[in-house]
A and B are shown apart, each in its own frame.
Chain A
Amino acid sequence: MIGFENVGYAYPGGSPVLDGITFEVSDGEKVGLVGANGAGKSTLLKCVPGLLEASGIITVSGLRVSRENIAEIRRKVGFVLQDPDNQMFMPKVIDDMIFGPVNYGSTREEAEEQADSVLRGLGIPHLRDRYNHRISGGEKRMAAIATVLAMRPDVMLMDEPSSSLDPRNRRALINTLSGLDKTMIIASHDLDMILDLCPRVILLDHGTLIADGETAGILRDRELLESHGLELPLSLSGQKGI
């Protein structure tokens, strides 16, 4: 379970970009986080593993995010960063995938086995031994997600996981994620993916929580979405393409 209670954040020297955010995500729940550019989605996610120090109270599985608990919380939380270039730091995809598990005590063999099964699940076993600086943007995105999945976190936080993916990889990602019985918060502009994956959605605007409820209801509410800089998902707008 993840709890946010009156969470606020301001970047050093700036005005608040998150204000009074309160909600709870129960175990195994998949929640979409939507909002226009600059709404505060990435900022909110970064507060959970303590990459940014928020005001208010954030808890993960009953542990409060604080200096004492941070190592334990980070162990439970997998985080897919918005920019995959910053997520991958080892020479090869496979090196990156075993980095986390081995740090947490797996043997190399276990870690590689685990990595291989994740790669197969995502349909990208061919990326295993490729060099990170020689794969495409979308491939890198898939690989970055794979590195996080390979750690088998209890909680997954994902910032724009589907951006720059082609339709097939996007579908593979959605299938993989929907098959996982984990707590997830997915920040995305891909409202159709949110609609597919997350029964519940949270709408942010200018750092405040605007709506929290059933995805089908909120993402169908044209007026609500448009007044906060979003549009109906394609699959609900009755249009095929733009």
Chain B
Amino acid sequence: MNDAERAVLDLRAMDELESMDSPLHRLSPLSKFTVTAVYIALTASFGRYDLTGLLFMVIFPLIGYQLAMIPVRTCFSRLKGVLPLVAAVGVLNPFFDRNVLFRIGGIAVTGGVVSMLTLMMKGVFCLMASFLLMATTAVDELCRDLRKLHFPKMLASLILLTFRYTSVLTDEVAAMTQAYSLRAPGQKGIHISVWGTFLGQLLLRTMDRADDLYDAMVLRGFNGEFHYAGGRKSSRWSWPAAALSCAAIVAARLVNVPALLGSLFI
């Protein structure tokens, strides 16, 4: 199995995570969406030197994974392809921002190092939160609920199709790299000389398949509404739970909890 194929299986397996059952799975899609959006917005808004305050934010996704009964490591193993990209953000900061913020032992910690860390943490935390949302919520149900709030049909369909097409794209990459490696034994990856044609082909094939898929949906009566979505009944605790979580997240943003705890004990 090549990397691309594994990626497809991983992506497809989201469906399986999503159809599990847990307290978190039973919450209404929109309430989870709201909490995730609030979490991401507030996490991103931390100042770049606010390491300790930001650190505390990890508690929310961690609790979420517990409630969803999904091991946190699933998120990291599924997303290991994206993690380096997230981590790469800000690696240059230490070179630009060299003023010393504090010292640990004899070592000077510069603003650049701290801001690099906060950037990485923001990326990873937001990724954890988005993955949790995807793993516990069916995209069709989410779109249906957005439509109920008069969210534009176009945009709701767009969210759905983007999700569907991602798997088409990875499918095609898997099929093509497999075909390639069968005829280029012993080669690692795709030789740079064929990248151009490979990408061109990939685009054409993906578009063809996306067309067919869309046709198949339209032929079965899809017109941008999501009547078919969702067998699951949302728990009536959805919105109270969402309100509580949002309040906790806002509080954690406003109050530096680690500093507060520290001051209590010192």
Same complex origin of A and B: yes
Q: B219 contacts A99, CB within 8 Å?
A: no
CB of B88 closer than 8 Å to a CB of A: no
Given contacts A89-B164, A98-B228, contact A75 B221 (CB under 8 A): yes
CB of B253 closer than 8 Å to a CB of A: no
Stretch at the interface among B12-20, B74-82, B236-244: B12-20
Q: A102 contacts B16, CB within 8 Å?
A: no
B1-45 at interface with A (beta carbon < 8 Å): 8-9, 12, 15-16, 18-19
If over half of A's interface residues share one DSSP class (helix, strand or loop), that class is named, otherwise mixed; here it is: mixed
A57-74 at interface with B (beta carbon < 8 Å): 71, 74
Nearest B residue to A71, CB-CB: B223
CB neighbours (8 Å) of A85 from chain B are 171, 209
A22-55 at interface with B (beta carbon < 8 Å): 49, 51
CB of B97 closer than 8 Å to a CB of A: no
CB neighbours (8 Å) of B213 from chain A are 86, 89
B20 to chain A minimum Cβ distance, whole angstroms, is 12
A182 to chain B minimum Cβ distance, whole angstroms, is 16
**Which residue of A91, A104, A131 is within 8 Å of B221 (Cβ)?**
A104
CB neighbours (8 Å) of B215 from chain A are 51, 81, 86
Q: B212 contacts A81, CB within 8 Å?
A: yes
User: How many pairs of residues, A versus B, come closer than 8 Å at their CB atoms?
Assistant: 68
Q: A99 contacts B212, CB within 8 Å?
A: no
Q: 23 pairs across A/B with beta carbons < 8 Å?
A: A51-B215, A51-B219, A74-B219, A74-B221, A81-B212, A83-B212, A85-B171, A85-B209, A86-B212, A86-B213, A89-B213, A90-B140, A92-B15, A92-B19, A95-B228, A99-B222, A103-B220, A104-B221, A105-B227, A108-B231, A131-B12, A133-B8, A151-B220
Q: Identify the 7 closest CB pairs spanning chains A and B, nearest first.
A: A103-B221, A100-B220, A86-B212, A91-B15, A102-B228, A133-B12, A87-B216
CB of B251 closer than 8 Å to a CB of A: no
Complex alpha-carbon distance, A173 and B227, angstroms? 30
CB of A118 closer than 8 Å to a CB of B: no
CB neighbours (8 Å) of A147 from chain B are 220
CB neighbours (8 Å) of B89 from chain A are none
If A99-B221, A102-B227 are given as contacts, then 20 extra A-B residue pairs at C-beta distance below 8 Å, sorted by A number, are A71-B223, A77-B219, A78-B219, A81-B215, A81-B216, A86-B209, A87-B212, A89-B216, A89-B217, A95-B228, A99-B217, A99-B220, A99-B228, A103-B220, A103-B221, A103-B228, A131-B15, A133-B9, A133-B12, A151-B220
CB of A79 closer than 8 Å to a CB of B: yes
Complex alpha-carbon distance, A225 and B220, angstroms? 36
Complex alpha-carbon distance, A83 and B172, angstroms? 14
Q: A86 contacts B216, CB within 8 Å?
A: yes
Nearest A residue to B219, CB-CB: A79
CB neighbours (8 Å) of A71 from chain B are 223
Nearest B residue to A144, CB-CB: B216
Q: B225 contacts A103, CB within 8 Å?
A: yes
Q: What mask results when residues 197 to 233 of chain B are scored 1 for a CB within 8 Å of chain A, else 0?
A: 0000000000001001101111111110101100100
Complex alpha-carbon distance, A89 and B222, angstroms? 12
CB neighbours (8 Å) of B12 from chain A are 131, 133
B160 to chain A minimum Cβ distance, whole angstroms, is 10
Interface centre among B9, B140, B164, B218, by most chain A C-beta atoms within 10 angstroms, is B218
CB neighbours (8 Å) of B15 from chain A are 91-92, 131, 133
Q: B225 contacts A91, CB within 8 Å?
A: no
Interface centre among B9, B138, B228, B231, by most chain A C-beta atoms within 10 angstroms, is B228
B158-212 at interface with A (beta carbon < 8 Å): 164, 171, 209, 212
CB neighbours (8 Å) of A104 from chain B are 221
B24 to chain A minimum Cβ distance, whole angstroms, is 18
CB neighbours (8 Å) of B140 from chain A are 90
Complex alpha-carbon distance, A215 and B237, angstroms? 64
CB neighbours (8 Å) of B216 from chain A are 79, 81, 86-89
Complex alpha-carbon distance, A74 and B218, angstroms? 8
Nearest A residue to B218, CB-CB: A74
CB neighbours (8 Å) of B212 from chain A are 81, 83, 86-87
Nearest B residue to A88, CB-CB: B216
Q: B19 contacts A91, CB within 8 Å?
A: yes
